[in-house]
Amino acid sequence: MFGGFFDVPRKRERLQQIEDQISLDPDFWNDPKASAPLLKEKKLLSIFSERADKLLQLKDDLEAALSLAKESEEFFAECENTAKMLEEQLNDLEIQSLLSDEQDGNDAIITINAGAGGTESCDWAAMLLRMFLRYAERKGWQATIYDEIAGDGAGIKSVTVEIKGEFAFGLLKAEIGVHRLVRISPFDANARRHTSFASVFVIPVVDENVDIDINPADLRIDTFRAGGAGGQHINKTDSAVRITHVPTGIVVQSQTQRSQHQNKDAAMGLLRSKLYEKEMEKRQQAKNELENTKEDNSWGSQIRSYVLAPYKLVKDHRTDIESFNPTEVLDGGIDMFIHAFLVNKVRAHQS
């Protein structure tokens, strides 16, 4: 049943090799730095193997239901439900099989920035934020907003969100780039059509076992009064934290946690991930797959267009995949675009 990208036998063979190494090497647990990558690989392979088993079970259930349906029509509904579940599991397994980069299994940090265009672009950035939050909700993932700067009239100028879930970074990295919206503006009294831009960048959350050297002397830590939503306590105390890494100029901040200590911990986590990403970019400058997608928030650089007027269409310009249901897409239905992006990425590497 399995073939192509799946290669279940090879993945299960690799899983068995890791399990044998863990059980036979008496010093395995004595070196956390050496064991962490293997344990991470084992976890991802185990998830893949469990989904493959579930897929096979659904296949057997569907065959049984089809056999019963030949005798009685009352089993048709069961056949349809099982077939739908089988298709969903198959899609999930195929997408997972395309994720082989070192950090694909990590949680993700998404940053959304409104482009030029004032209130229009700020409102568009807020719509993108909702799209990603709904996508995370559909996946059963956990989302935490660490920093949000409100727009002057509506929407948001920028926002940073951490998404925790299986293969969050591996999937969401497909969304890196400029997103373009075309619609009749709700802020224009003359009901004219407007084009707005917002950029999305995604980095992996760094594991604690990854060695990132942060010298406390290189940090400038400022506290300030948090703004926006968050409760009375947050808005009355200097609980928000901003950390500047002086050597690189990287600035991170968190203002949505209940205490200054929690915001500092969150900001340090963001800083670790950004420093790790910067180091990986230096090491892989020739490839530079992520940074090359960070383009100007302007015409011609977009990865995807969302057209709400005069017709309805969402088109990914990297894969030519289209949807004629923008409402579904903006409600988190972006798997079709992510899947196509990952397939193209694998094919490009194979060619």
Residues of the chain with pLDDT under 70: 1-6, 207-211, 227-237, 283-300, 350-351
The strands making up 250-254's β-sheet, listed across from edge to edge, are: 219-224, 240-245, 250-254
- pLDDT for the residue numbered 267: 93
- Fold that domain 216-283 belongs to in CATH: Double Stranded RNA Binding Domain (3.30.160)
- pLDDT for the residue numbered 223: 92
- pLDDT for the residue numbered 284: 64
In words, the CATH class of domain 108-209+288-350 is alpha beta
- pLDDT for the residue numbered 210: 67
Tens digit of each residue's pLDDT (9 = 90 or more) over 316-337: 999 999 999 999 999 999 999 9
Instruction: Name every residue whose Cβ is closer than 8 Å to that of residue 227 and which is 6 or more positions away in sequence.
Output: 150, 235, 240, 255
- pLDDT for the residue numbered 283: 64
Query: Tokens in use for 140?
Result: 């059963």
Q: Can you give the residue ranges of every domain in the chain?
A: 8-97, 108-209+288-350, 216-283
Tens digit of each residue's pLDDT (9 = 90 or more) over 73-84: 777 888 888 888
- pLDDT for the residue numbered 203: 93
- pLDDT for the residue numbered 74: 77
This prediction's pTM: 0.77
Is residue 201 within 8 Å of residue 109, measured between CB atoms?
A: no
What CATH number labels 8-97? Answer: 1.20.58.410
- pLDDT for the residue numbered 235: 45
- pLDDT for the residue numbered 230: 43
- pLDDT for the residue numbered 26: 87
